[in-house]
Structure 1
Amino acid sequence: MIDVTAILLSAILSSVAAGAVAFHFLRQTAPQGANRSMPDHDARFLFQGRELLNVSGGGQWLFETGHGKGDSDWDQLRHVLAPRFPGLPVLPENMDADIVTCPTNLPDDEAELLLERINDLTRVTLLQHGDSTAQPADIHRRLMTDTRLETLEQAVEGSPYPIWASNCDGRITWANDAYKRLAENADTLDNADIPTLFDLPEVTPPAVPRTRLSLTLKESDSNIWFDVTSSQSSVGCMHYAIDINAVVQAEIAQRNFVQTLTKTFAQLSIGLVIFDRRRQLALFNPALIDLLGLSPEFLSSRPTLFSFFDRLRDMQIMPEPKNYRNWREDMSDLVTAASDGGYLETWNLPSGLTYRVSGRPHPDGAIAFLFEDISSEVSLTRRFRSQLEVLQALVDGMPQAVAIFSPSSVLTFANESYRTLWRCDPDSSFADLTLDDAMRHWMTRATAQADLTRIHPTQTDIISIPLINGQTLSCRVQQLMGGNFAVIFGQEQDAPHLPFLQNSA
């Protein structure tokens, strides 16, 4: 029973002590003098945790200037005082001691912020030392206003871009240093203290127009381009100019580059069409019209990629799909392959024309397709292949065995008689067969009396080669065009000679 009574007595005494402390803080924080005609300018704040319990008259004005800033009353007070007293804790419980003094960060400012904390109560007092008769709240308001104005002045005057103000009549009333430096170098006939450099259109609120204007400098034929933004108020306009000379020069260079490309594309014999990232036709050259027979009206309407290829299919300018149901899927695969730069096909058309079509990716997701008429090239290749086949058949039908070597003495061709005579197939070898390799094989069927070392690219005499089966061959080397040479084998009574293979040079 005694212990319970002691505990209750201790709790009552603690509550009374805490209440006395709170009453002491409240009494010192509350405004003094009920008959004052002017509001109390002393700046004192009493917090319980982060909640404001009481505030003096001058402190009330300071606190309300931060209305809506932060999630708590303490955050609102920090918004008002922290620019001047950066040492003010983020949270009251973060204080390093029960009494903390925060100095100001402004020059020639003798104020300090006194923080006192007991349990969860925190009192903040703005103290202004010196001989000033002004109240701390008034001094804080003036200092913050001066600091803000000084910051704005430094920002405007130190701006590298021209800024100026004009009245309702359009006369310039103020300009920053950048504008004045520009006016000194500008070629203008205005003799005013602050000359007008730009002829701006009228501004109608609430519009904030942006105007691109140029300015000529003294002793210079080139212009400097600016992007001028104007904002109107009740007393006139504020104007802000940004140097966009580099942007204008880049646009001119880009326009010239596009014109050069357009002229180049116009002279190409290869048809070119470019689709943008939305797969809509963006550019084509005249050769595309000549090759594909598409109308300029259709191309100028900027059809989509699928519409473009649908038109080609309808005009039988591209191979007819075997399965029309999969046509769209095939087109999607075509776009994907072109985007990766891997699309390359040869279109053999019913008209007898042959087109080589390739797709290449372009910047910003665009795709370019190239159409090249290779009908003549294909026809020439076919004729050349046919002639080679005729020549192959002619040489294979000869009774003489013929082996043709390149200038580096590598076997490049052997007719059927050579394969039969020497019982070998040079095409079955993965490695290149040289003249030395061939002679080693020839020695396997020749007698020891055969002297094959006499066979060389410049040899012109006829050589007799006795074979182990009793036959005797005659061998001769004949020079061909381009440094090639042929080794010809025949019966000894027949002189191995191929007039149509002889080098006319």
Structure 2
Amino acid sequence: MPLDGWSLTLLLIVTSFTSALLAMGGLYLLPGRAAARPARGIFSLGEDDIVFLLDGDRIVDATPAARLLLDQGETGAQTGVEARLFAYLAAQFPGLRPQLEELAETGSFTCTGGGPRRLHLRAEWCEGLTRLTLLDPEAEGQVVTVDALSFRAATDELATLRAVMEHAPMLIWREDPAGAVTWANRAYLLRAAEGTDDLGWPLPALFASDHRKAARQRLQHSTASGGQEGWFDCETLPLGEDLLCFAVPADATVQAELSLRSFMQTLAKTFAHLPIGLAIFDRQRRLQLFNPALTDLTALGAEFLSARPTLAAFLDQLRDRQMLPEPRDYKTWRQQFTEMESGTPGHYEETWTLPSGQTYRVTGRPHADGAVAFLVEDITEEITLTRRFRAELEIGQAVLDALDEAVIVFSAAGVVTMSNRAYARLWGTDPAATLAEVGLADTLRQWQQACLPDPVWSDFPRRLGARADWTGAVTLRDGRALHCRIAPLTGGGLLVGFSSASGAGNGRHDLGLVGIPA
């Protein structure tokens, strides 16, 4: 059947179209040739997808949502976006770092993070680059609508919290169960950046793991360059499986403690050579300081005193070892210490006479801060000497009282120190019975009033000042004659004696009572 022009033209078009389809089909169906797939670009996803493209640890590109995530994680410290990214990922996906290092061999992996959100992370190896996709399974297919005021309030609160954390003067950081630092505030990052020009991820651990053993502990930190060293009071709080750590600078406190310790050591060395026992109790009434003399005087062992006993236990031990005078009422006696502990004015001072014959002087002084110090001094020799001296004085007074001669003794200052009974009978006065001091001038005036005028009395002061042996005679107003003598004593003293002139030859001195005129 012959073909007209239109039919021929239509045939040629169909033939050409069929040849093109066959050619295209042959392209995809050739044996040994796989169908080519267009490469997925990072921006082929939606704007809400969070995708990062990394070259090693360096971010090559990121979606707008991913950039927004990095901006929200801004810490304010001088760290790169890579550090902020890995800080966020390490907090959400513990143990992610080793998996990323093996990504070139595995090709891809998917992991699920911890926490209430349970985020998914998809990692893929794309021709030398790492492609990370972060997915929130709860938010897939959902549209979250937030009004402008609520969003603004949330944003302001976030800014406030971030400013508080970044301007906090203490070091704050977060650790995972393995002890790796997953987040840190500005103070921590600035401290970690000292001595180094490049602070990367993972963040260095400034402190050893000792702070995880106790809720509060003092730690020491020095930078890598060794240029700065500091002390911190560290406190940890559990945050799920992680730890939230706080480190407050404590250099001033440590320096004060070292100064106090040095001062206490100086005091201890000084008190170690004192023969007086010293015991200092703090406001909780525990022994804080004692010297070796206290162990010698109280017979308490150094082990017992080093255990910081309380004041009550200290006194009870002294009582058990018979180092206390046994009072009639031990509770009342203890009440004196209670009153002293309460900060009442004055101080406690008492002489303890022990059953062993020793004598202690115990002094207790309370302080304004609640502490109390006890001084224990052995005064046995002092008491013995005092008693011996007192006994000698009593013997000397008895000897003077046995004499018939009226005797009076003046000190170097011209004050009457002693007289005998014969003197009191003769002149009608006893200087020892007078509380006030009796001087030489008053005594001389008394003598003159009881005697007749005589040139001896005008010369008597000069004789006393000459401090030489002298004898003379005076006459009482009743007509009796008295023999008077002056004898100097050692130490600047003077002895003046009066005896009856009539009995001087036979050794008898009958001195009666003299009436002194008014």
TM-score normalised to structure 2 length: 0.55
- Residue 426 of structure 1: how far off its partner (Å): 1.8
Give the aligned residue type for 1:155.
Answer: V
> Counterpart in 1 of 2:93?
none
Secondary structure of 1:448's match?
A: coil
- Residue 366 of structure 1: how far off its partner (Å): 5.2
Alignment of 1:251 with 2:254, yes or no, is no
Give the number of equivalent residue pairs: 352
Alignment of 1:268 with 2:274, yes or no, is yes
CA 1:372–1:203 in structure 2 vs 1: closer, same or farther (change >3 Å)?
Answer: closer
- Residue 447 of structure 1: how far off its partner (Å): 1.1
Whole-angstrom CA distance in 2 between matches of 1:225 and 1:290 = 40
Does the CA contact (< 8 Å) of 2:192 and 2:223 recur in 1? no
Does the CA contact (< 8 Å) of 1:357 and 1:370 recur in 2? yes
Of residues 474, 479, 484, the one that matches 1:470 is 479
Alignment of 1:394 with 2:402, yes or no, is no
Alignment of 1:199 with 2:207, yes or no, is yes
CA 1:419–1:222 in structure 2 vs 1: closer, same or farther (change >3 Å)?
Answer: farther
Give the aligned residue type for 1:434.
Answer: G
Does the CA contact (< 8 Å) of 1:190 and 1:196 recur in 2? no
CA 1:361–1:222 in structure 2 vs 1: closer, same or farther (change >3 Å)?
Answer: farther
Pairwise mapping of residues 108-257 of structure 1 onto structure 2 (< 5 A)? 138-163=147-172, 170=180, 175-176=185-186, 178-179=187-188, 182=191, 186=194, 188=195, 191-192=198-199, 196=204, 198-201=206-209, 209-216=215-222, 223-230=229-236, 239-257=245-263
TM-score normalised to structure 1 length: 0.57
- Residue 248 of structure 1: how far off its partner (Å): 0.8
Pairwise mapping of residues 322-401 of structure 1 onto structure 2 (< 5 A)? 322=328, 326-337=329-340, 340=344, 342-361=347-366, 365=370, 367-401=372-406
Whole-angstrom CA distance in 2 between matches of 1:280 and 1:412 = 50
Whole-angstrom CA distance in 2 between matches of 1:236 and 1:306 = 47
Pairwise mapping of residues 294-333 of structure 1 onto structure 2 (< 5 A)? 294-296=300-302, 305=311, 308-322=314-328, 326-333=329-336
- Residue 197 of structure 1: how far off its partner (Å): 7.1
Higher relative contact order at CA 8 Å, sep ≥6: structure 1 or structure 2? 2
Whole-angstrom CA distance in 2 between matches of 1:486 and 1:345 = 39
Whole-angstrom CA distance in 1 between matches of 2:465 and 2:423 = 21
- Residue 281 of structure 1: how far off its partner (Å): 5.7
> Counterpart in 2 of 1:443?
448
- Residue 362 of structure 1: how far off its partner (Å): 5.4
- Residue 245 of structure 1: how far off its partner (Å): 0.8
Whole-angstrom CA distance in 2 between matches of 1:314 and 1:327 = 13
CA 1:422–1:374 in structure 2 vs 1: closer, same or farther (change >3 Å)?
Answer: same
> Counterpart in 1 of 2:458?
453
CA 1:203–1:480 in structure 2 vs 1: closer, same or farther (change >3 Å)?
Answer: closer
Whole-angstrom CA distance in 2 between matches of 1:302 and 1:226 = 28
Whole-angstrom CA distance in 2 between matches of 1:329 and 1:180 = 63
- Residue 244 of structure 1: how far off its partner (Å): 0.8
Whole-angstrom CA distance in 2 between matches of 1:174 and 1:309 = 54
> Counterpart in 1 of 2:136?
none
Whole-angstrom CA distance in 1 between matches of 2:314 and 2:188 = 54
CA 1:332–1:382 in structure 2 vs 1: closer, same or farther (change >3 Å)?
Answer: same
Give the aligned residue type for 2:151.
Answer: R
CA 1:441–1:483 in structure 2 vs 1: closer, same or farther (change >3 Å)?
Answer: same
Whole-angstrom CA distance in 2 between matches of 1:306 and 1:239 = 42
> Counterpart in 2 of 1:80?
none
Does the CA contact (< 8 Å) of 1:197 and 1:215 recur in 2? no
Secondary structure of 2:209's match?
A: coil
> Counterpart in 2 of 1:429?
434
1:241-292 C-alpha deviation (Å, 9 max, x unpaired): 3111111112222322333344444433333445666666665543333333
Whole-angstrom CA distance in 2 between matches of 1:239 and 1:295 = 44
Over the residues paired in the alignment, what is the CA RMSD in angstroms?
A: 4.3
Work out the percentage of aligned pairs sharing the same amino acid: 38
Whole-angstrom CA distance in 1 between matches of 2:282 and 2:420 = 56
Give the aligned residue type for 2:380.
Answer: S
Does the CA contact (< 8 Å) of 1:273 and 1:369 recur in 2? yes
Question: 5+ unaligned residues in a row in structure 1: which ranges?
Answer: 1-136, 496-505
* Residue range with higher mean Cα deviation, 152-161 or 167-176: 167-176
